[in-house]
Amino acid sequence: MAFLHTFNPTSLREYDIRGIVGETLTAEDAYAIGRTFGSVVSRRGGRTVVTGYDGRLSSPELEKALVEGLLACGVRVVRVGCGPTPMLYFASATLEADGAVMVTGSHNPAAYNGFKMVLGGKPFFGPQIQELGTLARTGDVVPDTQGAVRGLDLRAEYVRRLLHDWDGGEKPLKIVWDNGNSAAGEVLQKLVAGLPGEHHILNGAIDGHFPAHHPDPTVAKNLEQLIAEVRARKADLGLAFDGDADRIGVVDDQGEILWGDQILVLLARDVLKTHPGATIIADAKASQVLFSEVQKAGGVPLMWRTGHSLIKTKMAETGSPLAGEMSGHIFFADKWYGFDDALYAAVRLLGLLARQDTPLSALREALPRTVSTPEVRFDCDDTHKFKVIESIAARLRHEGADVSEIDGVRVTTPDGWWLLRASNTQAVLVARAEGADAAALERLKQAVVARLAQAGVAAPDFSGNNAGH
The one-character DSSP state at 203 is S
Residue type, 188: L
- Rounded to whole angstroms, the Cα distance separating 238 from 175 reads 6
What is the DSSP annotation of 328-363?
SBEEE-SSS-SSB-HHHHHHHHHHHHHT-SS-HHHH
Measured from the Cβ of residue 219, the count of other Cβ atoms closer than 10 Å reads: 16
Q: Which of 39, 59, 92, 106 is catalytic?
A: 106
In sequence order, the 6+-apart residues with CB closer than 8 A to the CB of 83 are 52, 54, 154, 155, 158, 183, 184, 186, 187
d(CA 286, CA 298): 18
φ and ψ at residue 236, rounded to 5 degrees: -75, -30
- Whether residue 391 lies in the annotated active site: no
Which residues on adjacent β-strands are paired with residue 283? 304
CA distance 356 to 441: 34
Which residues are within 8 A (CB) of 26 and not within 5 positions of it... i.e. 6 or more apart? none
Q: Euclidean distance between the first and final Cα of the chain, in Å? A: 59
| DSSP tally for the chain: helices H, then strands E | 14, 23
> CA 369 from chain center: how many Å?
26
In sequence order, the 6+-apart residues with CB closer than 8 A to the CB of 195 are 163, 166, 347, 350
Residue 448 zone, left/alpha/beta (φ > 0; ψ -120 to 50; rest): alpha
Quote the DSSP letter at residue 103.
E
Taking a C-beta distance cutoff of 8 angstroms, is the pair 52, 18 a contact? Answer: no
Please choose, from the candidates 416, 448, 415, the residue with its C-alpha nearest in 3D space to the C-alpha of residue 429.
448
Which residues form the catalytic set?
106
